[in-house]
């Protein structure tokens, strides 16, 4: 008897669709097609590849209402944010269309040889294991540079966004890419180990939890496969005494509540100097309370349900366990199925789940500190290393702290966010490797030394 998975709308609980898991025979056929396509695709000119990505970018915009509705129905993202996600994917495609030839050009190196250079050659078929929180962006952030470099891609997406996974495969094929360039595998977690051990898979890219990253890294290491791991985050948002709250408070709230707080780079811990603490709390609470909550399909909804009921329950436990250790709920902490009320929790300290762990939902943990020095010490008191942000008028003093922040990103007077022009990734328990920019397209290539004497 074949196994299947069902997708459902987290806002109303309605079942959307049922999908049969792929058989071993079908998975084998997909692997074989990916490898066969790679041998042809790697020989195509980069200009030919980017022409296809122009079509893909056009199709993203043309079909953005269809794609955004699918995202919102499968994981509950407010529709305005789903539309913005599709548009951002098109902008990323434009970036690589404009820059791929330069990024992949042979790099001439002067040596004793008549000619020597670095050649950037594709590796083969790359397996992507992706999460549900940004169903299109996370996948295309991997796929666009990886396929532009001449690789082929196989996607194992999160089960609750299977419709999005199949839509992305259709997007590639309808844009003219050869069958096998990008394929979606509907498989369960038990089949991942078999995939990683298959000789046709050359590397793995995972965006997901720390727990998932450790497991995939173990499997990949056993099979000597390269990995890029973009894992959880516990980002600090430092609010120093001279911060311009009138200018940046909306940014701070958005840094926590965007995507219903379901973002690895969201501000999880707000570390606030005591001189500005009371004013910050008053303004922050008012701004959070003003967020329009409702049906994610309404254009003016700013926050809606989480992606699944079990996620809301897990988040509630983190908050309740923190309260048991002395934290205080200032706002929220009520759940109704997949809905989690926007929550502000104060008196947070190390040792509490809301300080030590990643909270994946609309919960802002507030930490009071006496000065900027304590703020930086508290910000770096974490096993994660995805990103930190600081709000202050003294940007020169903040720039002096760059080397003190061990994270993959440090933002001054803005929220941590991804930009196709800049590398994205973390350190420590947040993973390793980089996506986006030139660094992202170079992750899955063989940096080959070529040495020629005449």
Which residues partner with 236 through β-bridges? 269, 388
What is the model's pLDDT at position 189?
87
SS3 49: helix
Question: Domain 4-231+430-452 is of which CATH architecture?
Answer: 3-Layer(aba) Sandwich (3.40)
pLDDT tens, 367-383? Answer: 999 999 999 999 999 99
Structure tokens at 241: 């005494």
Alpha-carbon distance of 428 to 408, in angstroms, equals 9
First-to-last CA distance in the chain? 64
Note the residue count of the chain.
454
Sign of the dihedral through C-alpha 196, 200, 203, 207 = negative
What's the helix, strand, coil split of the chain in %, to 5?
Answer: 45, 20, 35
pLDDT tens track for 136-149: 999 999 999 999 99
Please list the residue range(s) of the chain that carry CATH number 3.40.605.10: 4-231+430-452
User: pTM for the complete prediction?
Assistant: 0.97
- 162-174 and 137-148 helices cross at what angle (nearest 10)? 30
Q: Write out the H or E segment, with its range, that includes residue 320.
A: helix 309-324
Catalytic residue among 74, 85, 210, 230: 230
DSSP symbol at 424: B
- pLDDT per residue as tens, the chain (454 positions): 469 999 999 999 999 999 999 999 999 999 999 999 999 999 999 999 999 999 999 999 999 999 999 999 999 999 999 999 999 999 999 999 999 999 999 999 999 999 999 999 999 999 999 999 999 999 999 999 999 999 999 999 999 999 999 999 999 999 999 999 999 999 998 899 999 999 999 999 999 999 999 999 999 999 999 999 999 999 999 999 999 999 999 999 999 999 999 999 999 999 999 999 999 999 999 999 999 999 999 999 999 999 999 999 999 999 999 999 999 999 999 999 999 999 999 999 999 999 999 999 999 999 999 999 999 999 999 999 999 999 999 999 999 999 999 999 999 999 999 999 999 999 999 999 999 999 999 999 999 999 999 9
The pLDDT assigned to 1 comes to 46
Q: Where are the domain boundaries for CATH 3.40.309.10 in the chain?
A: 235-419
**Upper half-sphere CA count for residue 401 (Cβ side, 13 Å):** 25
Angle at CA of residue 355, ends 353 and 359, nearest 5°? 65
Rg of the chain's alpha carbons, rounded to an integer?
Answer: 23
Instruction: Please state the φ and ψ torsions of residue 147, each to the nearest 5 degrees.
Output: -75, -35
- Secondary structure class of 387 (helix, strand, coil): coil
Q: Indicate if 20 belongs to the active site.
A: no
CATH 3.40.309.10 for domain 235-419, yes or no, is: yes
Nearest C-alpha neighbor of 31 from the set 218, 261, 176, 185: 185
Residue 449, judged by CB atoms within 10 A of its CB (0-12, 13-18, 19+), counts as exposed
Q: Which residue has the tokens 């311009």?
A: 244
What pLDDT was estimated at residue 2?
Answer: 65
């Amino acid at each position: 008897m074949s196994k299947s998975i069902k997708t459902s709308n987290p806002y109303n609980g309605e079942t959307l669709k049922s999908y049969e898991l792929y058989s071993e025979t079908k998975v084998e056929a997909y692997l074989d097609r990916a490898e066969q396509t790679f041998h042809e695709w790697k020989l195509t000119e980069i200009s030919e590849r980017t022409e296809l990505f122009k079509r893909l970018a056009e199709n993203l915009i043309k079909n953005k209402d269809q794609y955004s509705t699918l995202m919102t129905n499968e994981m509950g993202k407010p529709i305005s944010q789903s539309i913005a996600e599709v548009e951002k994917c098109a902008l990323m495609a434009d970036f690589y269309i404009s820059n791929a030839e330069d990024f992949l050009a042979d790099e001439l190196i002067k040596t004793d040889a008549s000619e020597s250079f670095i050649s950037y050659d594709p590796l083969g078929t790359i397996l992507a294991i992706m999460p549900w929180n940004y169903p299109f962006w996370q996948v295309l952030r991997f796929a666009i540079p990886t396929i532009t470099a001449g690789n082929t891609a196989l996607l194992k997406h999160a089960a609750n966004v299977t419709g999005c996974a199949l839509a992305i495969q259709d997007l590639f094929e309808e844009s003219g890419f050869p069958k096998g360039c990008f394929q979606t595998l509907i498989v369960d977690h038990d089949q991942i180990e078999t995939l990683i051990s298959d000789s046709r898979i050359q590397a793995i890219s995972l965006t997901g939890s720390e727990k998932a990253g450790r497991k995939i890294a173990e499997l990949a290491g056993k099979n000597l496969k390269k990995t890029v791991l973009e894992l959880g985050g516990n980002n600090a948002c430092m609010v120093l005494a001279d911060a311009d709250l009138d200018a940046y408070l909306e940014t701070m709230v958005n840094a926590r509540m965007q995507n219903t707080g379901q973002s690895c780079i969201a501000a999880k811990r707000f570390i606030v100097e005591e001189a500005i603490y009371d004013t910050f709390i008053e303004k922050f609470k008012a701004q959070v309370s003003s967020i329009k909550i409702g049906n994610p399909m309404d254009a003016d909804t700013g926050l809606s349900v989480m992606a699944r009921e079990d996620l809301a329950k897990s988040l509630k436990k983190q908050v309740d366990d923190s309260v048991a250790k002395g934290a205080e709920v200032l706002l929220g902490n009520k759940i109704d199925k997949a809905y989690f009320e926007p929550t502000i929790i104060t008196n947070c300290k190390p040792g509490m789940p809301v300080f030590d762990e990643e909270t994946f939902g609309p919960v802002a943990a507030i930490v009071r500190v006496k000065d900027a020095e304590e703020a930086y010490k508290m910000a770096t008191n974490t096993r994660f290393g995805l990103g930190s942000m600081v709000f202050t008028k003294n940007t020169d003093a903040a720039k002096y702290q760059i080397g003190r922040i061990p994270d993959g990103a440090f933002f001054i007077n803005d929220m941590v966010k991804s930009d196709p022009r800049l590398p994205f990734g973390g350190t420590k328990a947040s993973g390793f490797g980089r996506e986006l920019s030139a660094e992202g397209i170079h992750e899955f290539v063989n940096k080959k030394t070529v040495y020629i004497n005449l």
